[in-house]
Amino acid sequence: MRPDEWARVKSLFEATSAISAAADRERFLAGATDDPALRREVQLLLKADVESTGGWVDRLSETISQHVSLRGVGPGQAIGPYRIDEQIGRGGMGVVYRAYDTRLERPVALKLVDDVSLDATARSSLLREAQCASALNHPHVCTVFDFGEFQGDPYIVMEWIDGRALSSITRVAALPTDAALRYGLQIAEALAHAHACGVVHGDLKTANVLISRDQRAKLLDFGVARRLSREDDESPLGSSPHGTPVYMAPEVLKGEASSERSDVWSFGCLLQELLTGSLPFTGTTRSALTSAILEAAPAPMPAGVPEGVRLVVAHCMSKEPLGRYRDGNELWRALSTAAAAGSDQHDDDRSVVATVSGRHAAVAPAAYVLYRSGQRLFWRGTRRDLQSAVQMLARAVTMEPHFALAHAALAQTCGRVHRYYDRNEEWLHRGMAAAQRALALDPQLAEAFAAIALLHYAHEEYEEVIRFAYKALELKKDCDGAYAILGQALFLLGRLNEAAALADRAVETSGHDYYVYLPYSSVLKRLKRDEKADLLNAKLRRVLEWQIGWAPDNARARILLASAYSQEGRREDALRETEIAVAFDPDDPSNLINAGCVYAQLGMKAEAIAVLRRAIQNGYWHVDVLQHDPDYDPLRDEPEFQRLLVRDPGGMAPSSGK
């Protein structure tokens, strides 16, 4: 097949494969071309796609490989430090391989532009995909690790996800309401993260969402994404529409650039596809499809779809952009509310939540939403946030007593309350009881072991922290919270080289959690590895800036961002963020301790000691971190600082909010 013929086949295949229903695909294909040979080639590719199982993308495997090869790239060949294992699919402008990173000893997905489509536009698009996706760090976004060239062809290296495309699921049948809402919430969360980072996806569709074996949705392929900060006339999208027509917003079809609101439209199409098995707009030709999107009402949804969810979909698909949700964050909040209400009206609705052991437990969507909301408040971490988190998680486990993940989250939250805000050991007893309940339900639940590690951390039992944190990571290499608490315990015990050896892995697997950076940054400073500490601080700063974009009232993220700014010499920015963070909650002892850290770094010793004193007066009661943290080194010779480190008669005194 000649390159120009292959380009026609590929283009028509991509347009046709985006349509879920087989009958609709055949009608579209019949109206799109009168060339029987071309139609036959596309039908063969569609057949290969539907029959494929597993893999990183919808496999076109043997059928597509017969038509075009990529300069002899095959199993065993090296592309930079990556050893090719097998070709697993084609999409957009690239061929995707499963490969092995020989440096870090891990599987990866490698996307390489093929010589058929390689031109300046293709090269620019792949680079843009790498740049946009590398700015994102979220559990439901496919992580980009690397970018390079091979024999003049650009490639990007991404997280390997063992699973299958969401489109391969929807082509079989509609999803149960609970599963559709679960995936919808995860995708909306990823979209909110991208928008907060200033990135529009531009081609949101089920084919660009992978479902991993542990039932996590992963958003990928930012090939037509763009940065929101670019001027429209500089947009790589130009004035012609890019993306997949059946998911495309009316204004994009008219030639306008993609925006957050056009992503919201595409999400509405995607969610309706999950709920019904078909898209809201179809047409036998491109012009008929365009006319339907611009003028017709979307196809009705079955009566079984909850009313609140119907309203969310309808709001997403307003013909006028201003009639839609503003961005992914607003969308996520609306869908969360609707899903919790998809539970009050239908007691039998269930949502499947995967555990690390590979088993699944069915829980009500309302309980799942309470669990996720409690987790968000846990990571924010102020006294009020943690109090609300305890209430939400307690409601979740009351509603669903067998919800092991929620029991583990409740245990972690109790540990953090005790560590930072309340000496009453009842928190430790309550937390340990919740953790033991989680393990009774699932003996291999990594999150439960991480919770026990945090409870020991709250009681300054650091050897036990290390034991249980390593157990959690043995069970789940990216267990939330485990690397952060492990690094802190190693730092406080002076096991600096052991902690430093874990730093890269900790940030790589848990980089979305800003707490994970803090102990390893302190370790690197103590070891005088200043260049690496600076790189870590820069990554932390970007994560914190995203957190504030997502939630401007996150006082903890702001005070830690102030510290990151101070380490970069950005004095005015550091003081501004400190002032804002303290103003949110002037009496929060953990924020005051971190404000003291910022003032110390900036040489404002009197101000630092003043806020440290206020923190202790407001209940801050550990001294161990203050005694070791390098950020407080400017205060070491101050007599008043030394007096603050003396434990009170009860045996307790001040711990860093770090």
The least confident of 178-182, 233-237, 616-620 is 233-237
Please state, in angstroms and as integers, the Cα–Cα distance from residue 429 to each residue in 188, 412, 415, 485, following that order: 36, 12, 9, 19
Instruction: Place 134 in a pLDDT band, splitting at 50, 70 and 90.
Output: low
Q: Judge contact between 133 and 178, C-beta under 8 A.
A: no
CA–CA separation, 251 vs 269, rounded Å? 15
What would the pLDDT profile of 379-392 be if each residue is shown by its tens digit? 878 788 898 899 98
Res 72 pLDDT > 70: no
Token pair for 603: 């040489």
d(CA 537, CA 47): 49
Contact 619, 382 (CB under 8 A): no
**Cα gap 473→33, rounded to integer Å:** 54
198 contact partners, CB below 8 Å, separation of at least 6: 135, 227, 228, 229, 549
**Mean pLDDT over the full length of the chain:** 80
The pLDDT of 317-340, averaged and rounded, is 87
φ, ψ for residue 209, nearest 5 deg: -125, 125
User: Given this model, what pLDDT does residue 474 score?
Assistant: 94
pLDDT at 117: 47
Contact 38, 12 (CB under 8 A): yes
pLDDT mean over 413-440: 92
Cα–Cα distance list, 272 to 49, 123, 307 (Å): 22, 34, 13
Report pLDDT for 224: 47
pLDDT digits (tens, 9 = 90+) for 5-31: 666 776 677 677 666 566 667 777 777
> Which residues are CB-contacts of 420 (< 8 A; sequence separation ≥ 6)?
381, 383, 386, 589, 590, 620, 655, 657
Active-site choice (49, 114, 153, 203): 203
Sequential DSSP letters for 82-109: EEEEEEEEEETTEEEEEEEETTTTEEEE
What are the tens digits of pLDDT across the range 545-563? 877 765 677 888 899 999 9
Tell whether the torsion through CA atoms of 174, 177, 183 and 188 is positive or negative.
positive
Token pair belonging to 85: 């294992």
* Mean pLDDT calculated for residue range 394-411: 93
Are residues 392 and 384 in contact, defined by beta-carbon separation less than 8 angstroms? no
Q: What is the pLDDT of residues 226-243, one digit of tens each?
A: 544 433 333 333 334 556
Beta strand 78-79 with 82-91 is antiparallel
Q: How far is CA 392 from the centre of its chain?
A: 22
CA angle 275, 281, 284 (to 5 degrees): 130
Of 552, 461, 450, give the one whose Cα is nearest residue 509. 450
pLDDT digits (tens, 9 = 90+) for 577-608: 999 988 887 888 888 989 999 999 999 999 99
Model pLDDT for residues 241-255, shown as the tens digit of each residue: 556 889 999 999 988
pTM, to two decimals:
0.53
Dist. CA 164–CA 57, nearest whole Å? 6
Residue 360 has pLDDT above 80, yes or no: no
- Domains belonging to the chain, first-starting first, are 3-159 (3.30.200.20), 163-344 (1.10.510.10), 350-480 (1.25.40.10), 551-658 (1.25.40.10)
> Which contacts of 395-398 are long-range, i.e. CB under 8 A and separated by 24 or more positions?
395/367, 395/370, 396/367, 396/368, 396/370, 396/371, 397/434, 397/437
Per-residue exposure over 169-196, b if at least 16 CB sit within 10 Å of its own CB, e if not: bbbeebbbbbbbbbbbbbbbbbbbbbbb
Q: Nearest-CA neighbor of 89 among 146, 133, 45?
A: 45
Residue from 464, 508, 504 nearest 486 by CA: 464
- Torsion angle, alpha carbons of 478, 468, 501, 105, to 10: -40
What's the confidence (pLDDT) of residue 57?
33
Query: Quick check: helix, strand or coil at residue 114?
Result: coil
Least confident segment among 329-333, 351-355, 487-491: 351-355
Q: Which amino acid is at 151?
A: Q
pLDDT for 590 equals 83
Q: What is the pLDDT of residues 621-657, one digit of tens each?
A: 667 777 888 888 899 889 988 888 876 544 444 443 4
Give SS3 for 231: coil
**Nearest by Cα to 498 from 488, 509, 490:** 490
Confidence of residue 374 (pLDDT cuts 50, 70, 90): confident
Give all strands (DSSP E) within 160-204, no chain letters. Answer: 163-165, 199-200
To the query of whether residue 203 is one of the catalytic residues in this protein, the response is yes
Give CB contacts under 8 A, 24+ apart, made by 580-586: 581/555, 581/556, 582/555, 582/611, 584/382, 584/553, 584/555, 584/558, 585/382, 585/383, 585/384, 585/555
Tokens 């059928």 locate to 63
Contacts of 178 (CB under 8 A, 6+ apart): 342, 349, 350, 351, 352, 362, 365
Characterize the bridge pairing of strands 82-91 and 106-113.
unpaired
Alpha-carbon distance of 431 to 459, in angstroms, equals: 12
Q: What's the number of CA atoms in the CB half-sphere (13 Å) around residue 22?
A: 9
pLDDT at 130: 64
CB–CB of 132/226 below 8 Å? yes
Across 58-72, 116-130, 303-317, 363-377, least confident range: 58-72
Q: Are 619 and 593 in contact (CB under 8 A)?
A: no
Residue 347, pLDDT score: 42
Q: Which H helix or E strand runs over 431? A: helix 426-441
**Mean pLDDT over residues 133-148, rounded?**
79
Those residues with Cβ within 8 angstroms of residue 536's Cβ, 6 or more apart along the chain or in another chain = 503, 507, 517, 520, 521, 524
Beta bridge partners of 111: 96, 156
Helix axes 555-567, 530-550, angle to 10 degrees: 150
